[in-house]
Structures are given as C-alpha cells and as structure tokens.
Structure 1
Amino acid sequence: MQGYRDDGVVLRTQKLGEADRIITLLTRQNGRVRAVAKGVRRTKSRFGARLEPFTHVDVMLHPGRSLDVITQAEVIRPYGAPLAEDYPRYTAGTAMLETAERLTPMEKEPALRQFLLLIGGLRTLSETGEDAREPRLVLDAYLLRSLAVAGYAPALEECSRCGASGEAKRLTAFAVAAGGMVCA
C-alpha cells in the first residue's frame, strides 16, 4: 500500500498494548485520522514526544486494516509548552481540541476550515507577553466560529423563534435553547 504525507494537530492519544499509542489527528487534507504509532511509549522511542496533544506535526502514514500506521513525525510547531504553563490556557486548549474532534464526525473526510480554525486558535492561545489574549475570549471566539463552520451557527440577525428580522422587531435576548436571538 502506498503511504501518504499530511500535516495535522494531535487531538488525543490513547494507550494501545505495551508500547504503542493510538493517535487522533486533525489533518489538513484528510480530516480526522486515527493512526497507530508503534513503540512510542518505549524510552528509546525516536518520535514519542512529537506526538503529544497540542502539537502541529508533519506525519507520514501508511494505510492499515482498521487504523493507519504513523511511520514518521516531524514537529512543525509545538503549542503544548506555553499552554501547560497556564491552567486557564490549558483548559481552553483542551476544549478546543475536543470540539475539533467532535465537530469532525467522519474519519478521513476533509475538514480544511476546521483545521485552519484550530491552528489559528492554538496560535492565539499560546501567545505570551503583551500579545496574550484572555483564554476565555479565545475559546468563545473559537467555539462560535467552529460551530458556524460545522453548520450550527446561531441566528443573530433574526428572531430564532418567529423569524422576524432585527429591523422589523427588536431582538432583546439570546436564548441558547432557541438557537439564537429572540424578540420580546
């Protein structure tokens, strides 16, 4: 079988057997991919640390029976270190990874916009110093945009109950259960 190369963000890792891990990636060209990284839990592993959550990696994969196999991994940008130092950033980043995984329900279905949105969110979240933004605000912006990309955007211009536009009726509140803004 012919292997393929793609870049992606590590969303999740799971133990498999004694020395292997199942790595869930959100990739640029192939969407969400689950693959086995053989021997990464051994102490002499060459690329075990490269396949940790929050890491943007360039991977070489080979199709397997049920899961692909990762044969090579190179780090493009590690977002984990700045996020692990600050608990609010870490929790916001974890929520972003989980959201990306949940909103890409089909494996190997391209999700380029979700991928680019996740990369941008992690980059913004990992900024430190004067450029740093409030983690809650970054997460809120990511969640709203991610939901919109997935087709779950809230109604902000018209009433989500009766459909009247904002100019015709005054939109007074945001109702989560209704799916957006509502009029009086």
Structure 2
Amino acid sequence: MVRTYDFGEADRIIVLLTPAGLVRAVAKGVRRLRSRFGSRLEPFVLVQAQLYPGRNLDTITGADTVAYFGTGIIDRYEHYTAACAVLEATERLSIDGGELFDAAVEALKNIQVATRPTLALDAFLLQAMETAGWAPQLFDCAHCNAPGPHQLFHPGAGGALCRNCHYSGCAEVDPEVLHVMWLLAHVGGEGAEVAPESVCNSAHQLVRAHLQWHLERKLGSLDFVDAGWTH
C-alpha cells in the first residue's frame, strides 16, 4: 500500500501497488475504531487484498497481512523518510504497470536493516529509472559515448559527460561519486556503504536531480530525506 486518502465520514481511499500496477479502492468504515481491517491498510504493510470491482473505484472487502515493514522504519527518522520516498516514487512511476512491485518490496526490506538508508533509497530510485527507460549514464559519455570515467554530469544530457560535450549548467563531479551511483544501480550498492559520507551525499543529490528532471516535478518526500542530514 502506497497512499491513503480520507473519503466521507468513515471511509478511506487506499492506493495499492500490485504486480499489475496501481489500484485505487475504497475501504469502507476503516476509520472507525472497530474497523474489521484494523491497522492492515497502512503504509509499509504488504497485504493480500480481496477487491469487489466498481464503476470508478473498487471496494476492499478483505485484507490479510503478508508482511509488515514498519519495524525498524517508523521509529527512525532517516529510515522513515527514505521509505516514504520509495512509496511516493513508486506511485509516480507505476501508473502504467507493476514492474516496480518486487523492487519496492525489496527496497523496504533493505531500508529496515540499513545503516545508511539513503543508499538503499538511491539504489531503488536508480532501478526505478532504469525500468522507466531513463536511467543516467554513469561511465561513458551520455552524448558521444567516449569512455569514462568523466567529471561532468547533467540530467538533461542523460548523465555523465566528457569535456568535449560540455552542457551549460553541468555539475562538476568527482568520478568516485559516479562510481558509487554505478554500484547502487548495478550491484545493489555492495561496496558503496564504505564510501565517505560526502561522496554518498553528492551521489544522492545527482540521483535526485536526474529523477526530478525527468519526472518534471518534485518528490516532496525527498525534502524530508535531505532535512534529516541536518538533524
């Protein structure tokens, strides 16, 4: 489940991510104290839901908990904000299909136990961008394919750039930052956790910039992720 909206006096619209894509359904009476759904229809809960099809919205007639990811997430600020960003990104990127279902479940599991949850978030975001078809180029030049490593990055150009393909507004980047991003994108971040914090933070900012450039809108939850660095 990725999002909820209050509906009427006691109902709630539940946005579910399924292997087939996003489903919006009404959970009747879920806001009452004695709701038969209890706390199952909440973020960070994997459920097996029974749905009755409707004209505009399905109705949830039953829900059984399969897994609960809140432990280790809801009581830690950095983990909670990273997990919220996973859910928000999933909703934005899964409108036409459910390709991110398994990746989102795996990301929440990783965030539960992560010592650096932002790395787990960034690994998921890079995977999501790969699924969407606009993952950043991280080694060869995104414009001319000159072999890297390179020291320039621009999301509008597709990622890393060589000096000959300089774009206005390019960011100067330590190649180690792009290497950390490559580890996150291709091997689940193995090896990235030992990188200096400054390198990981720079990698996160590039991941965020690339994502939001191609989404053409902000993910509000990422503001809270970044705010956690000052706490």
Which bracket does the TM-score occupy, shorter chain normalised? 0.7 to 0.9
Q: Is the 8 A contact 1:174 1:181 kept in 2?
A: yes
Unaligned regions of 5+ residues in structure 1, if any?
1-9
Of structures 1 and 2, the one scoring higher in RCO (CA 8 A, sep 6+) is: 1
* Alignment equivalent of 2:6, drawn from 15, 19, 22: 15
Please, which of 117, 127, 131 is the counterpart of residue 135 of structure 1?
117
Distance in structure 2 (CA, Å) of the matches to 1:70 and 1:159: 49
1:173 paired residue number: 152
Residue 212 of structure 2 is matched in structure 1 by none
Structure 2 stretches of 5 or more lacking a match? 164-231
1:57 aligns with 2:39: no
- For 2:11, the aligned partner's letter is D
Q: Percent identity?
A: 45
| Superposed CA offset, 1:103-132 (max 9, x none) | 0123xxx42x300100000011112xxxx3
Give the deviation of 1:177 after TM superposition: 3.3
TM-score, L = length of structure 2:
0.67
When the two chains are superposed, the root-mean-square deviation of aligned CA atoms in Å is 1.5
* More strand by percentage: 1
After the TM superposition, which parts of structure 1 deviate over 4 Å for at least 4 consecutive aligned residues? none
- Alignment partner for residue 164 of structure 1, among 133, 137, 145? 145
The aligned runs of 1:67-86 (5 Å cut-off) are: 67-86=57-76
Higher helix fraction (1 or 2): 2
Q: Number of matched residues?
A: 163
Distance across 2 between alignment mates of 1:31 and 1:39? 25
Q: 1:42-89 deviations in whole A, cap 9, x for unaligned? A: 111011410001111100111101011110001111112321110000
User: Does the CA contact (< 8 Å) of 1:11 and 1:25 recur in 2?
Assistant: yes
Corresponding residue of 1:95 = 85
Deviation, 1:178, is 2.1
1:45 maps to 2:35: yes
Distance 1:140 1:54 in 2: 18
